[in-house]
């Protein structure tokens, strides 16, 4: 049988740990953008609360920020709509289908056998290595984006600087390659 | 009775005023809903197209019984799947098990929000732009949101408590992050040429000549990485039917099973649209007198057919070769392409 305690105690908290702050921050930022994206007249008919007043004056002082938040209004509406669709579909399929449960049917799929060992065992360390390499190279790749946008303005100086950067990146890749970090056996 | 008419007048004034004040918001909401519904209704059409074309590639007919040319088949399948039992096996984590397909569909729809699909036009004195949101860092938004789609597959693999699912989840995470690197770096040469992250600006920069002629290598790299990102054959290792019995969605039934495919097909459309915008000139038609939106749609449908064509032509590649190809061939080529583009641009 599956060791359920192991599963609950070990794997699950780690997933929540990584997901929860990420989604909370994301949602807060989007909702904030949705509110600020409305024209100022939206608040005209009612008395400003202190927070709204502070926020509006803040937004008025930073037209750049307000412009950015206005851009995200469409995306925020789409986000809410998509959230509704996704949750609605999951709920609907749980409600609409028949429910005929019996013990054998509720076991994990194992080609007709009952499950012999827990699926949560050790797996190849290569996956971990790929994840670490991805984090390294992706952070380095992110530095390219502002450089590419400002390429014309930076001119030869920017090009030479980035040449050195690509060289360092290339040496890193070569090192990982020679050490066998990219081989799968 | 005076106060009633006064009150009604005031109410009417209030409604008219607040509607007039918020026209951009209202137009934005309607546009967002229309785009989301349109994207979702493309999925049945795409499923039909794939099954018909696959049939022809394999010298058979494909579905042809429900409706004209079998067009009703995906609709019938959807309705059938909706009324199927949704089984959650007892050792699975219930919340995460429900969350995974929702994440996949959610990210797929949201990523489409910033895709522009036609030149803006004027109607009723309002300038209607054919995009959900014109974010000045549009391409980063698409990468960020579609990158979050990996979570759906990994959560599905972990929460199922099944070794095939876990293997599928692991494979998909390793594959998608490896090819995301190539995707970002090959798009970089286009950003270098246009000097902007906005997808609308990129289309405007291609009014005379599409970037595929200037950047053929970047196009190839981007398209290969795009196929791998959407988990399509020949890179469909996360859901390899023969070895992993469908990988991360082995345990899913009914509509939740279909939601993974919905996500995959919407991602296919987004990826085709992105390739069209970056390399094929978006809605520019280069002298052929068609509407901008028709030109855009024709290019996207052509790329979708290429996706299906690839699936019926190539066998699935081995996992070690997949990873080696991504890291040892595509990544150095990306850096080389960037170097060449920069050198030519600076001279």
pLDDT per residue as tens digits for the range B61-91: 888 888 788 888 888 888 888 888 888 887 7
* CB-CB neighbors (< 8 A) of B89 in chain A: 106-109
Question: What are the extents of the domains in chain B?
Answer: 45-67+90-346
Please state the rounded mean pLDDT for residues A149-159. 84
In degrees, to the nearest 5, what angle opens at C-alpha B238 toward C-alphas B237 and B241?
70
Helices (H), chain B: 2-21, 23-57, 73-82, 94-111, 138-159, 163-194, 199-204, 211-214, 216-229, 241-244, 254-279, 292-313, 319-324, 331-346
pLDDT per residue as tens digits for the range B119-135: 777 776 666 777 777 77
Q: Which of B106, B322, B324 to mutate to test the interface with A (most CBs of A within 10 A)?
A: B106
Higher pLDDT, A121 or B186: B186
DSSP B83-95: TS-----TTS-HH
Of all residues in chain B, the percent with pLDDT exceeding 70 is 96
Residue B149 has pLDDT above 90, yes or no: no
Higher pLDDT, B170 or A185: B170
pLDDT band at B224 (very low <50, low <70, confident <90, very high): very high
* CB-CB neighbors (< 8 A) of B191 in chain A: 145, 148-149
Residue B221 has pLDDT above 90, yes or no: yes
The C-alpha atoms of residue B208 and residue B222 are separated, in whole angstroms, by: 22
Q: Which residue of B has its CA nearest to A121?
A: B163
Of all residues in chain A, the percent with pLDDT exceeding 70 is 62
pLDDT band at A43 (very low <50, low <70, confident <90, very high): very low
Higher pLDDT, B17 or B323: B323
Q: Which of residues 37-56 of B touch A (CB under 8 A)?
A: 40
Question: Does the structure's ipTM exceed the value 0.90?
Answer: no
The C-alpha atoms of residue B347 and residue B343 are separated, in whole angstroms, by: 6
Residues whose CB falls within 8 Å of the CB of residue A5, separated by 6 or more in sequence, listed in order: none
Residue A4 has pLDDT above 60, yes or no: no
Please state the rounded mean pLDDT for residues B234-245. 73
Residue B305 is predicted with a pLDDT of: 93
Higher pLDDT, A113 or B339: B339
Min mean pLDDT across A100-109, B178-187, B208-217 is at: A100-109
User: How many residue contacts between A and B have a Cβ separation below 8 Å?
Assistant: 239
Global confidence as pTM = 0.80
Average pLDDT, chain B: 85
* CB-CB neighbors (< 8 A) of A139 in chain B: none
Residue A95 has pLDDT above 70, yes or no: yes
The C-alpha atoms of residue B257 and residue B240 are separated, in whole angstroms, by: 15
**Alpha carbon of A118: minimum distance to chain B alpha carbons (Å):** 8
A82 → closest Cβ in B110, B158, B166? B110
* CB-CB neighbors (< 8 A) of A75 in chain B: 110, 113-114, 132-133, 135, 141
Residue A67 is predicted with a pLDDT of: 64
Phi, psi for B121 (deg, rounded to 5)? -135, 170
Residue A3 is predicted with a pLDDT of: 47
Min mean pLDDT across A61-70, A152-161, B14-23 is at: A61-70
B250 → closest Cβ in A68, A109, A163? A109
pLDDT band at B173 (very low <50, low <70, confident <90, very high): confident
Higher pLDDT, B307 or A4: B307
Determine contact: B84 vs chain A, CB below 8 A.
yes
Residue B140 has pLDDT above 60, yes or no: yes
Determine contact: B163 vs chain A, CB below 8 A.
yes
Q: Do A182 and B338 touch (CB under 8 A)?
A: no
Q: Do A106 and B87 touch (CB under 8 A)?
A: yes
Please state the rounded mean pLDDT for residues B205-219. 89
Min mean pLDDT across A109-113, A153-157, B277-281 is at: A109-113
Best-predicted range by mean pLDDT (A8-12, A119-123, B200-204)? B200-204
Assigned token pair, B271:
């990826």
Residue B276 is predicted with a pLDDT of: 92
The C-alpha atoms of residue B82 and residue B253 are separated, in whole angstroms, by: 10
pLDDT band at B306 (very low <50, low <70, confident <90, very high): very high
Q: Which residue of A has its CA nearest to B28?
A: A74
Task: Tell me: cis bond preceding A148? Omega within 30 of 0 counts.
Answer: no
């Amino acid at each position: 049988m599956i060791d359920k305690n192991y599963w609950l105690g070990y794997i699950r908290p780690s997933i929540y740990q990584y997901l929860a702050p990420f989604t909370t921050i994301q949602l807060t930022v989007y909702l904030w953008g949705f509110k600020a994206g409305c024209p100022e007249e939206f608040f005209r008919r009612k008395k400003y609360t202190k927070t709204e007043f502070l926020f509006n004056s803040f937004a008025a002082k930073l037209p750049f920020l307000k412009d950015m938040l206005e851009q995200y209004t469409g995306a925020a509406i789409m986000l809410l709509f998509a959230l509704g669709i996704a949750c609605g579909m999951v709920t609907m399929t749980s409600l609409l289908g028949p429910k005929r449960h019996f013990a054998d049917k509720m076991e994990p799929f194992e080609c007709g056998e009952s499950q012999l060992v827990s699926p949560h065992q050790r797996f190849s360390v290569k996956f971990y290595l790929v994840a670490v390499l991805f984090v390294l190279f992706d952070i380095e790749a992110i530095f390219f984006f502002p450089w590419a946008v400002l390429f014309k303005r930076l001119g030869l100086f920017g090009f030479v600087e980035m040449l050195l950067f690509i060289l360092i990146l290339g040496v890193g890749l070569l090192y990982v390659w020679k050490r066998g970090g990219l081989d799968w056996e | 009775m005076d106060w009633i008419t006064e009150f009604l007048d005031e109410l009417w004034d209030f409604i008219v005023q607040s509607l007039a004040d918020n026209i951009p918001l209202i137009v934005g909401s309607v546009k967002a809903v229309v785009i989301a519904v349109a994207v979702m209704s493309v999925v049945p059409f795409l499923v039909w197209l794939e099954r018909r074309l696959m049939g022809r590639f394999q010298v058979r007919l494909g579905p042809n019984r429900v409706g004209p040319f079998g067009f009703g088949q995906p609709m019938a399948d959807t309705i059938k799947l909706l009324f199927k039992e949704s089984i959650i096996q007892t050792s699975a984590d219930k919340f995460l098990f429900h969350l995974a397909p929702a994440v996949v569909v959610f990210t797929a729809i949201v990523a489409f929000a910033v895709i522009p699909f036609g030149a803006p036009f004027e109607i009723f004195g309002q300038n209607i732009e054919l995009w959900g949101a014109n974010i000045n860092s549009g391409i980063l938004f698409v990468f960020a949101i579609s990158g979050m789609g990996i979570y759906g597959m990994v959560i599905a693999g972990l929460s199922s408590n099944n070794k095939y699912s876990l293997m599928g989840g692991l494979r998909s995470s390793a594959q998608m992050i490896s090819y995301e690197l190539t995707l970002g770096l090959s798009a970089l040469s286009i950003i270098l040429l246009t000097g902007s992250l906005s997808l609308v600006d990129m289309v405007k920069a291609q009014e005379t000549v599409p970037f595929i002629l200037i950047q053929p290598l970047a196009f190839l790299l981007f398209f290969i990485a795009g196929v791998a990102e959407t988990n399509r054959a020949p890179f469909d290792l996360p859901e390899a039917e023969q070895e992993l019995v469908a990988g991360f969605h082995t345990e899913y039934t009914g509509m939740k099973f279909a939601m993974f495919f919905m996500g995959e097909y919407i991602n296919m459309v987004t990826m085709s649209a992105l390739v069209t915008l970056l390399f094929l000139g978006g809605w520019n038609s280069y002298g052929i007198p068609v509407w901008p939106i028709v030109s855009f749609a024709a290019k996207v449908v052509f790329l979708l057919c290429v996706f299906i064509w690839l699936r019926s032509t190539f066998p699935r590649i081995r996992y070690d070769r997949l990873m080696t190809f991504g890291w040892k061939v595509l990544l150095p080529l990306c850096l080389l392409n960037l170097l060449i583009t920069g050198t030519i641009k600076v001279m």
